Structure 1
């Protein structure tokens, strides 16, 4: 079979062959060689941007001699200026890969990668999916994703889907009638794997559970399900495993960087140490020991077109104690720093805590399909949910008392039943949102 996917990347000027050779070399380094490689790449990328990138020179205070830990932390607000002011010398809109972030952090921006860096991104994705015998040139993907709704954007994505051997299920309408059509496609097509937004795939699994259907039985070609872009809770993972009967693989990435962590075949969330360098920092920008929770700060080791050096991605996480430089393991991802609930007592709590607590009660009987939590005032929260029947006063009391136990008492809640929940323009479901 013609490798349409590889060909389309080559046609667009991405040096895939060179990138594959580089990645092979990095993966096969000994521990000592890897330590040297990492130090060299960190020095190289900083030196390059200090010499060739005005935006980075200004950010770093025009220093030429530096210590790594004194380099500035780059954040999303820094990047909200025209791209041409952030590009390195020698790079223009004509010779880069250009894209924009989804804005799920609340701060969207346009970014660039040089073509070699982007080829490495694809190569690292190929390698990781390869751990599960998925080959983008041959394997057929069932894709649960958003899609642009205007004509040109829609056609362009559909064409990319054709080249990439994937069939897309847009996630804006996830009614039972739509999921019935999705089910028919799985009965009639030989999909090799599922890829897409966690919340949409979980909703499909709940639909299958209600119908008492195991997906692998009606689509025996399936080898794995890769969930991305939203938190995968342990209870949801168990549901997916039960209804799909295939490996459920958790990935964590950022379009402006690369795949950041990808679940390996041992069930560890292995960080991509080939093209990225990941640090966990406290609020004073000091590196924390493994096992401690802090801000995830990432350096892109190969992107010369645009600096992502010590870039605070806006997420909170913990590196596993058994992490090494060459094989860092992400022990836990806590969600975004801007999804923090401020409470009347002065306590700060990750918004996902509400989500966890509420989820454990609300979904017991399978009535509630999805819900989101919005903080409107210091002591006031709105829970929007989609369900077959409205929550009764007993369930509401249970939720309120659990939240009082886990967080604090005397918080006010209103419950709003909806037909569909609002998603971002890319189709992501934002589970907690503070309007403070």
Structure 2
């Protein structure tokens, strides 16, 4: 008799052990996905009403924001922005929730408006169920598929080891994107020669730089790593010419992902090439400057409601991006036609090292404190060795804080860089009101 060893679902098991009810979340997501269009519309309207009622009764922060329990229409509810959320997390949590029984994290600050957020554990389990469901469209299984991960990583000893351990449990190999010079990219290439990766996932600009490196060497990645099935890019805009480059140099499908850590996957390219909006755990609206819903096919601000997060209200939350829904969109299957925002420049340093703008996510973590002091910040590269940090905060950064930032800069970028810190009342925005965290003036 022949016995086969069944693979232990370590990824799911780890989440379950940490208090995230994955079995229940997966079951609920399957139920939602199976709804008819009529059932789905009824589900969304019920969940909208339910989440608003819950937070009006259990969340003093949201009750104060709304101003009254007796709202008449959905459009009467305020649009929540990131500035509203820049106060200590404990002042924003719902009754019965704490930092100990919730999932707590920080936003990247890629929009220049960082804050700490929370999700209740069931909501976070649904986030993972949503990810698992969509990645499965391309034959990717988080428990068994091997990921080539193009992300940053904490440089401090404990943070680094913790992240590496998470990588081990999640069956992924991390390519740190803080240095993308040719010598480092050559090392990336050697890993693809020796490891059987199933898929690539990570920051768009870093993956594009790797593709350009392959183009210069006239190498097709799938030829040296034939196990590769698909590449998912995230966190930054994917331009059409870059997508063509990736498809050519990788020799695999390129999938565009749009998400926010405080919410969920917002949109994910389906196998038909459509940027399908998550309508299972989120309700997405496109609003004009007067907070009115625009017709499909019209540009507007992307405003999102988390239908399940009871620990913290994200109701009519302006994420800071501009987008357009396709004319053929329905409530059950919205299609994101176009997205504007979250593009990042690349910093070129005196040593020749190239670092994507998202490197500053890890640097600016040093100044993101959960006291609401730093409201906004932008970083500009003015010369090859000079940067300006402009910030808005209640009290000026002190010498100890500046020293901490400089230390982080040396760790993540390189020594010898010059930084000028300027406190401002307001920061310069684009004509659409968007803050760009990093901008190269070179």
TM-score range, shorter chain: 0.7 to 0.9
3-state secondary structure, aligned to 2:158: helix
Structure 2 counterparts to residues 84-95 of structure 1, below 5 A: 84-95=90-101
For 1:142 and 1:370, the matched residues in 2 are separated by 19
Q: Which residue, 35, 38, 51 being the options, matches 2:57?
A: 51
Q: In structure 2, what is the equivalent of residue 393 of structure 1?
A: none
Question: What displacement does 1:67 show?
Answer: 1.0
1:295 aligns with 2:301: yes
State whether residues 371 and 384 of structure 1, in contact with CA within 8 Å, keep that contact through their aligned partners in structure 2: no
| Cα-to-partner distance string for 1:10-44 (whole Å, 9 max, x where unaligned) | 00000000001100000000011111000000000
State whether residues 240 and 248 of structure 1, in contact with CA within 8 Å, keep that contact through their aligned partners in structure 2: yes
Q: In structure 2, what is the equivalent of residue 281 of structure 1?
A: 287
State whether residues 209 and 243 of structure 1, in contact with CA within 8 Å, keep that contact through their aligned partners in structure 2: yes
Question: What displacement does 1:92 show?
Answer: 1.1
3-state secondary structure, aligned to 2:238: coil
For 1:149 and 1:371, the matched residues in 2 are separated by 16
Q: In structure 2, what is the equivalent of residue 189 of structure 1?
A: 195
State whether residues 196 and 226 of structure 1, in contact with CA within 8 Å, keep that contact through their aligned partners in structure 2: yes
3-state secondary structure, aligned to 1:44: helix
Considering Cα pairs closer than 8 Å and 6+ residues apart, tell me whether 1 or 2 has the greater RCO: 2
1:179 aligns with 2:194: no
CA 1:14–1:431 in 2, change beyond 3 Å: closer, same or farther? closer
Q: In structure 2, what is the equivalent of residue 26 of structure 1?
A: 32
State whether residues 179 and 355 of structure 2, in contact with CA within 8 Å, keep that contact through their aligned partners in structure 1: no
Q: In structure 1, what is the equivalent of residue 316 of structure 2?
A: 310
Q: In structure 1, what is the equivalent of residue 247 of structure 2?
A: 241
| Cα-to-partner distance string for 1:294-321 (whole Å, 9 max, x where unaligned) | 1000000000000000000000000000
3-state secondary structure, aligned to 2:15: helix
For 1:71 and 1:315, the matched residues in 2 are separated by 20
Structure 2 counterparts to residues 331-346 of structure 1, below 5 A: 331-335=337-341
For 2:384 and 2:8, the matched residues in 1 are separated by 46
Q: CA RMSD in A?
A: 2.4
Q: In structure 1, what is the equivalent of residue 368 of structure 2?
A: none
1:10 aligns with 2:6: no
Q: In structure 2, what is the equivalent of residue 378 of structure 1?
A: none
3-state secondary structure, aligned to 2:97: coil
CA 1:192–1:88 in 2, change beyond 3 Å: closer, same or farther? same
CA 1:112–1:382 in 2, change beyond 3 Å: closer, same or farther? closer
| Cα-to-partner distance string for 1:356-382 (whole Å, 9 max, x where unaligned) | xxxxxxxxxxxxx8998xxxxxxxx98
State whether residues 146 and 196 of structure 2, in contact with CA within 8 Å, keep that contact through their aligned partners in structure 1: yes
For 1:250 and 1:287, the matched residues in 2 are separated by 25
Q: In structure 2, what is the equivalent of residue 127 of structure 1?
A: 133
Question: What displacement does 1:177 show?
Answer: 0.5
Question: What displacement does 1:232 show?
Answer: 0.4
State whether residues 178 and 356 of structure 2, in contact with CA within 8 Å, keep that contact through their aligned partners in structure 1: no
For 2:382 and 2:218, the matched residues in 1 are separated by 29
Question: What displacement does 1:419 show?
Answer: 11
Question: What displacement does 1:433 show?
Answer: 3.4
Structure 2 counterparts to residues 7-406 of structure 1, below 5 A: 7-335=13-341
3-state secondary structure, aligned to 2:87: coil
For 1:51 and 1:434, the matched residues in 2 are separated by 46
CA 1:87–1:178 in 2, change beyond 3 Å: closer, same or farther? same
CA 1:43–1:178 in 2, change beyond 3 Å: closer, same or farther? same
For 2:150 and 2:99, the matched residues in 1 are separated by 30
State whether residues 370 and 385 of structure 1, in contact with CA within 8 Å, keep that contact through their aligned partners in structure 2: no
Question: What displacement does 1:94 show?
Answer: 1.2
For 1:169 and 1:49, the matched residues in 2 are separated by 41
Question: What displacement does 1:64 show?
Answer: 2.6
For 1:323 and 1:205, the matched residues in 2 are separated by 33
Question: What displacement does 1:62 show?
Answer: 2.5
For 2:197 and 2:356, the matched residues in 1 are separated by 29
State whether residues 371 and 383 of structure 1, in contact with CA within 8 Å, keep that contact through their aligned partners in structure 2: no
State whether residues 296 and 314 of structure 1, in contact with CA within 8 Å, keep that contact through their aligned partners in structure 2: yes
Question: Mean Cα displacement is larger for which, 58-67 or 94-103?
Answer: 58-67
CA 1:192–1:79 in 2, change beyond 3 Å: closer, same or farther? same
3-state secondary structure, aligned to 1:131: helix
Given the two structures, how large is their TM-score scaled by the length of structure 2? Answer: 0.78
State whether residues 256 and 268 of structure 2, in contact with CA within 8 Å, keep that contact through their aligned partners in structure 1: yes
CA 1:164–1:283 in 2, change beyond 3 Å: closer, same or farther? same
For 1:371 and 1:262, the matched residues in 2 are separated by 23
CA 1:250–1:82 in 2, change beyond 3 Å: closer, same or farther? same
Q: Tell me, which stretches of 5 or more residues in structure 2 are unaligned?
A: 1-6, 346-353, 358-379, 386-412, 418-435
